[in-house]
């Protein structure tokens, strides 16, 4: 009979987790959602990068003491324990979970790692706990929203309890709604117009960022990504939250807009004009209006550089190599430019899919900026006009 729980090592922490061998699907793959407390080893990079980002934040920004971190969806407590033992400068971590089994396990893991002095454990709804703590004057330099599925219902409380210049981190695993493939759910949850589209993976990340920026603006907060990315089955966003009504309005005007897409020829443009029944200005085909969504950069270049430099001090991280590759990719990506799907363009031209490298070289030769995207191998980003882009694809 195998044990119900096992102790694993992640980062510098030892964590008691449900025995994965007991929760295998018929295809022998571990299903974390079936375990009494949620722990997904596939999310190790998500947690590793969070440790790195929090370290970078505390290295670059001075906060009044005590420096507090909130982990309101703590599961086994793995993040809370890791923030307490791996990030210098963290004074207190507030770990919470609604589930009674999780609550007990967080307490055990806190004791096992000897961080009882630093980690306070709560059991309640994340929104209730964050608003209650905020009402008592407890705010956080880093709030980690890591729920099942959508983070949307928790973004307001997250913004409200993040200190000025702190970071609100959010994970979203509802990629089908966000990308527009399950557009009714996505439109409802994120208060946007969504439809299936040819750059869904990209659209999903921008819908999430746009939602966070718009919710921030309702409370005179500027919410801007320092690092945001897509990885396999989830989106992860680390956004700086700062006070500022005027800047919040500016961000809404300049960085958030609608995206108009023509499915036939691939034409796209950001627009703030919502006109029903519009046709494509390039080919006359039907267009789709998506958004509002984030049109700005997905990363802050100087923060990304700090993360890449810092990573050399984190050789112990299990996902170090994968993380280094992701950060390197993001550094080379023109994340502020719109994404095109080469499959759409090749289909319009009735030609074979060209090598991405060839298209990028052609665009650069014509004087445009162009790059791959980390979200999908068949997407590219460019500031080129569609005519030149189609020439490069043909």
Which residues lie near ligand SAM (CB under 6 A)? 38-39, 43, 47, 72-76, 78-79, 96-99, 102, 125-126, 146-148
Least distance from ligand SAM to the Cβ atom of residue 289, Å: 33
Name the nearest CA neighbour of 269 among 281, 277, 283.
281
Least distance from ligand SAM to the Cβ atom of residue 324, Å: 21
Least distance from ligand SAM to the Cβ atom of residue 234, Å: 10
Least distance from ligand SAM to the Cβ atom of residue 200, Å: 23
Residue nearest to ligand SAM (CB): 75
Q: In angstroms, rounded to a whole number, what is the distance separating the alpha carbons of residues 173 and 158?
A: 17
**Cβ proximity to ligand SAM, 85 vs 203, nearer residue:** 85
What is the three-class DSSP state of 265?
coil
Neighbours of 332 (CB within 10 A): 10
**CB 221, CB 166: distance < 8 Å:** no
Q: In angstroms, rounded to a whole number, what is the distance separating the alpha carbons of residues 172 and 144?
A: 12
**CB 310, CB 351: distance < 8 Å:** no
**Cβ proximity to ligand SAM, 17 vs 217, nearer residue:** 17
In whole angstroms, how large is the CA radius of gyration of the chain? 22
**Cβ proximity to ligand SAM, 126 vs 306, nearer residue:** 126
The DSSP H or E segment spanning 170 is strand 162-172
Least distance from ligand SAM to the Cβ atom of residue 238, Å: 15
**Cβ proximity to ligand SAM, 29 vs 33, nearer residue:** 33
**Cβ proximity to ligand SAM, 1 vs 29, nearer residue:** 29
Name the nearest CA neighbour of 157 among 147, 207, 148.
147
Q: In angstroms, rounded to a whole number, what is the distance separating the alpha carbons of residues 330 and 228?
A: 9
What is the three-class DSSP state of 242?
strand
What is the three-class DSSP state of 128?
helix
**Cβ proximity to ligand SAM, 126 vs 207, nearer residue:** 126
- Cis-peptide into 292, omega within 30 deg: yes
Helix, strand, coil in percent for the chain, rounding step 5: 40, 25, 35
**Cβ proximity to ligand SAM, 147 vs 292, nearer residue:** 147
CA angle 154, 109, 171 (to 5 degrees): 25
**Cβ proximity to ligand SAM, 105 vs 205, nearer residue:** 105
**Cβ proximity to ligand SAM, 75 vs 266, nearer residue:** 75
Least distance from ligand SAM to the Cβ atom of residue 313, Å: 22
Least distance from ligand SAM to the Cβ atom of residue 379, Å: 28
The owner of tokens 């919470």 is 96
Least distance from ligand SAM to the Cβ atom of residue 81, Å: 11
Name the nearest CA neighbour of 369 among 390, 385, 348, 353.
385
- Phi, psi at 291, each rounded to 5°: 130, -165
Least distance from ligand SAM to the Cβ atom of residue 295, Å: 29
Least distance from ligand SAM to the Cβ atom of residue 140, Å: 15
**CB 342, CB 392: distance < 8 Å:** no
Name the nearest CA neighbour of 230 among 175, 169, 149, 177.
175
**Cβ proximity to ligand SAM, 79 vs 189, nearer residue:** 79
């Amino acid at each position: 009979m195998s044990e119900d729980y096992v102790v694993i090592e992640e980062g510098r922490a030892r964590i008691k987790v449900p025995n994965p061998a007991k929760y295998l699907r018929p295809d022998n793959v571990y299903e974390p959602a079936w375990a009494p407390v949620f722990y997904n080893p596939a999310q190790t990079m998500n947690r590793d990068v969070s440790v790195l980002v929090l370290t970078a934040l505390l290295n670059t920004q001075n906060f009044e003491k005590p420096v507090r971190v909130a982990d309101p969806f703590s599961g086994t407590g793995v993040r809370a324990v890791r923030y307490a033992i791996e990030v210098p400068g963290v004074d207190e971590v507030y770990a919470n979970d609604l589930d009674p089994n999780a609550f007990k396990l967080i307490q055990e893991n806190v004791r096992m790692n000897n961080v009882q002095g630093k980690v306070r454990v709560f059991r309640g709804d994340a929104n209730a706990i964050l608003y209650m703590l905020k009402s008592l004057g407890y705010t956080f330099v880093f709030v980690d929203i890591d729920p099942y599925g959508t983070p949307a219902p928790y973004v307001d409380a997250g913004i409200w309890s993040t200190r000025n210049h702190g970071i609100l981190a959010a994970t979203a695993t509802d990629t089908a709604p966000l990308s527009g493939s399950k557009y009714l759910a996505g439109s409802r949850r994120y208060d946007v117009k969504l439809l299936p589209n040819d750059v869904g993976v990209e659209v999903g990340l921008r819908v999430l960022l746009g939602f966070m920026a718009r919710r921030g603006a309702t409370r005179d907060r500027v919410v801007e990504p320092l690092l945001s990315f897509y990885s396999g089955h989830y989106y992860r966003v680390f956004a700086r939250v700062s006070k500022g009504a005027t800047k919040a309005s500016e961000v809404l005007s300049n960085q958030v807009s609608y995206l108009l897409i023509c499915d036939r020829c691939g034409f796209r443009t950001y627009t703030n004009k919502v006109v029903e029944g519009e046709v494509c200005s390039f080919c006359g085909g039907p267009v789709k209006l998506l958004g509002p969504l984030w049109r700005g950069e997905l990363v802050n270049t100087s923060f990304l550089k700090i993360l890449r430099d810092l990573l050399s001090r984190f050789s112990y991280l299990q996902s170090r190599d994968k993380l280094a590759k992701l950060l390197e990719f993001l550094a080379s990506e023109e994340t502020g430019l719109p994404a095109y799907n080469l499959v759409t363009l090749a289909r319009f031209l009735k030609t074979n899919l060209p090598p991405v490298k060839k298209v990028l070289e052609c665009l650069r030769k014509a004087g445009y900026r162009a790059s791959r995207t980390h979200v999908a191998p068949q997407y590219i980003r460019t500031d080129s006009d569609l005519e030149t882009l189609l020439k490069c694809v043909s």
